[in-house]
Amino acid sequence: MGQVEGKVVFVTGAARGMGAAEAQLLAREGASVVVADILEQQAEETAARIRSDGATAAAVALDVTSEQAWAAAIERARQQFGRIDALVNNAGVSYRVGLMHGRLDDWNRVIAINLTGPMLGTRAVVPVMRDGGGGSIVNVSSVAGLTGYPAAAYSVSKWGIRGLSKVSALELAPFGIRVNSIHPGLIETPMLDDAPDVMKLAFADGTPAGRAGQPEEVAALVLFLCSDGSSFINGAEIAVDGGFTAGGAMRGVLNGIEAAAGAPVSLRTTDT
């Protein structure tokens, strides 16, 4: 049996990229998956691929910034599958502009999608999840929610997800609902398509793993947090970043020293 056999999992932003990888892995591991996205046609295509592999999936249109859209999507999932055991708040947008130069409309849009969306989704799914005996909510944040990051609105929204997850974990624990946040680093997804190459190279260089991650590597963590194997994990923040937040800045320092020296740096320990 799969890790989430018999569960119903609702995934936002699941039409492509990381969300699609999460939906596909959850389905392979036995879940009935609701593929939710504002990109209706692509969401249906992802659901169709899952069904073609013999698993169960349904696509729903969802604008995560709309309370009414959330209510309709959750009700549709409840009517079709009878329950919802896990919600993955994966939908998000990037906006690589600093604090002093961004437009207010763009700031509000990023916050609405990246932070208000997960809040609305949590409020919409809790009654169904509670009536089913509990469940798991996974909020997809970013390493930008663990460190300072020059994309102001994006970073603030991802820090907000971290706080939302902890508040939700405390409030929803009596209902048997766990809430955790995950913090991907540089991941090869469509969101990176418009990022400058120099930024991608710098991130990879500052990652001890020395490379970008793959959507499937994030999906594996989502799968675990949706499964009963993570039953005692609640209110946690888990990085899936190749070690970036563990010491990416120091790696950059060492690389700079090596470049200046023209040779690898030998770090020796001394007894004191």
Tens digits of per-residue pLDDT, 100-114?
Answer: 998 999 999 999 999
Q: Tokens 């798991």, residue?
A: 136
- pLDDT score for 267: 43
Per-residue pLDDT tens digits for 195-211: 666 666 767 777 888 88
Q: Per-residue confidence at 192, pLDDT binned at 50, 70, 90?
A: low
Residue with more model confidence, 96 or 258? 96
pLDDT number for residue 69: 98
Q: How confident is the model at residue 40 (pLDDT cuts 50, 70, 90)?
A: very high
H or E element in which residue 16 lies: none
Percentage of the chain exceeding pLDDT 90: 75
Quick check: is 149 catalytic?
A: no
The residue ranking higher by pLDDT, 205 or 263, is 205
- What CATH number labels 8-196+208-245? 3.40.50.720
pLDDT of residue 17: 94
Say whether pLDDT at 263 is over 80.
no
> What number is the average pLDDT over the span 201-225?
89
Cα 183 to Cα 161: distance, rounded to the nearest angstrom:
10
Q: How far apart are the first and last CA of the chain?
A: 54
Each residue's pLDDT tens digit, 139-186: 999 999 998 888 999 999 999 999 999 999 999 999 999 999 999 998
Residue 26: pLDDT above 80? yes
Give the lowest-confidence range in 186-195, 223-232, 239-248: 186-195
Tokens (6 digits) for 143: 């390493």
Which position has the higher pLDDT, 224 or 196? Answer: 224
pLDDT cut 70: percent of the chain above it: 86
- Rounded CA-CA distance 254/270 in Å is 19
Which residues neighbour 9 within 8 Å (Cβ) at sequence distance 6 or greater? 23, 26, 31, 32, 33, 34, 84, 85, 86, 87, 88, 226
Grade residue 246 by pLDDT with cuts at 50, 70 and 90: confident
- The pLDDT value given to residue 256: 59
Token digits of residue 145: 């929610």
Q: Which of 35-39, 46-50, 171-175, 244-248 has the lowest mean pLDDT?
A: 244-248
Residue of 239, 243, 240 lying closest to 206 (CA atoms): 243
Query: Rounded mean pLDDT of the chain?
Result: 90
Residue of 154, 159, 224, 244 with catalytic role: 154
